Structure 1
Amino acid sequence: MFKRLLLVLASATLLLSAASRAADTSDTSLVLLTENFPPYNMAKNGKNFAQGDNINGIAVDIVREMFKRAGINYSLTLRFPWERIYKLALEQPGYGVFVMARLPDREPLFKWVGPIGPDDWIMLAKADSKITLENLEQARQYKIGAYKGDAIAETLAKQGLAPLVVLRDQDNAKKLLNGQIDLWATGDPAGRYLARQEGITGLKTVLRFNSAQLYMALNKDVPDEIVTRLQTALDQLRKEGVVDEIMGRYL
């Protein structure tokens, strides 16, 4: 009789604990941060600060659908610069940032949900440029523009290519056209989209040197259950063709 009572009490404790954990995760509200990175994330007014419905883009639309499917609350803010929102997501419990390349040195720093979309790394040149490249090493002799804090810029710097960085990636399109740089190291499709926004077309790809995927990075304090629910929701959206449909709106 006593053993049976202990079993009942133990079972009740486990149920209460599970219910408590479920209540905790259901009440979770994540703080999501992003930056101007068209066509994945962008402020509708073109500014470097926006919140909620004033933000759109491929990744933003996918994230909204993902959180809706997963039943998780969130707030969304677009801020500047990238280094600031990266640091917040890294250090603040309940924070997340998107979109971000999932690089080996970043892997243990966050919990990841994705992939959300592709981000090939390319070197762009002017339409009339005579530059031809077969590998990244051959780019060393040229002036290369990149975006400060971006994974592309960091990778080039680690390899000793010393890119000239700017605070807005689209500024590199103008610098390329004006001859201030010879090559623009950027993402595809992001670079071409940004160039078009500046009225610049006809840039040519002279090197494709990496193929990456973009993710949402969550602070390591975010419960695993939340991460799993978000990943499951994203997988369902991709399986149903929703991700492709969203991309088709912008590209």
Structure 2
Amino acid sequence: MHMHKRLLFALAGAIFGLAAGAHAELAPDYRVVLLTENFPPYNMASNGKNFAQEDNLDGIAVDIVREMFKRAGIDYSMTLRFPWERIYKLALEKPGYGVFVTARLPEREALFKWVGPIGPDDWVLLGRGDSNISLTSLEQAKQYKVGAYKGDAIAEHLVEQGLQPLTVLRDQQNAKKLMAGQIDLWATGDPAGRYLAKQEGVSGLKTILRFDSAELYLALNQDVPDEVVQKLQVELERMRSEGFVDDILSRYL
């Protein structure tokens, strides 16, 4: 009895799968085309340029995504290019394409199939390791000198909130200004800020306030088979529980 029931389910599944145009078996040459941008420390070109392919990419998300695909046994290619709008549109429109890392926002939820989270993209106020500043709101930061990155969404948000950030042309300059006491707080991304600081030889910074939080994901085109999405998600969760994800994070930060 059980045998027949299982067989019937399997047949029904196969017929339904065919009707739905789903791939019951992945074609042996199935490959996901992965696109990314320069967004240290998650994705970056080893040479710092705005174009790179395969092994010339580096970063927390690059390492995690590579391992995820390898473990899932799914073929992929990986290209870093510019601008973001273009690669986002390709992933949205082209079957078998994906883009990473991107925030999983409610308005994007139905546009892609998601694998993640790969890591956070938080907005923080960082202080020196010996800072005794304590804040519970952005409002309270008004009494301090806050450094930000010119033209950045974080800087714009501070202005909207009535702060007057001191801006610089490169965010990493803020790490030096913080150490020199020219600013009290540095408004930046986490982990981006800590990574940039490390490049400048600055470490041990303290998070004084976390004022916004987003989780970053791999966004796959709607056409990518569910079994691919599920395999990748399972492997990511296994990597996280094994401590692989934490190891990668500590390598860059």
* TM-score bin (small chain): 0.7 to 0.9
Partner of 2:91: 89
Asked if the contact 2:17/2:24 (under 8 Å) is kept, the reply is no
- Output the TM-score relative to the length of structure 1: 0.72
Q: 1:51 to 1:170 in 2, by over 3 A?
A: farther
Aligned to 2:4: none
1:202 is displaced (CA, Å) by 7.4
Q: Percent identity?
A: 63
Structure 2 portions without partners, runs of 5+: 1-7
- Superposed counterparts of 1:94-105, under 5 Å: 94-105=96-107
* Counterpart residue number, 1:77: 79
SS of the aligned residue for 1:117 comes to strand
Of the candidates 207, 221, 224, which is equivalent to residue 223 of structure 2?
221
CA contact (8 A) 1:120 1:188 kept: yes
> Retained in 2: the 8 A contact 1:126–1:176?
no
- Structure 1 residue corresponding to 2:67, chosen from 52, 65, 87: 65
CA distance in 1, matches of 2:90, 2:194: 29
| TM-score, structure 2 as length reference | 0.72
Q: 1:134 to 1:241 in 2, by over 3 A?
A: closer
Question: Are 1:171 and 2:170 counterparts?
Answer: yes
Quick check: 56-65 or 203-212, which moved more?
A: 203-212
Q: Distance in 1 between matches of 2:17 and 2:58?
A: 41
What corresponds to 1:119 in structure 2?
121
Alpha-carbon distance in structure 1 between the residues aligned to 2:176 and 2:190: 18
Following superposition, the deviation at residue 190 of structure 1 comes to: 1.5
Moved more, 216-225 or 48-57: 216-225
Distance 1:203 1:221 in 2: 43
Q: 1:224 to 1:161 in 2, by over 3 A?
A: farther
Q: Which moved more, 1:22-31 or 1:126-135?
A: 126-135
Number of residues paired by the alignment? 238
Distance 1:162 1:84 in 2: 33
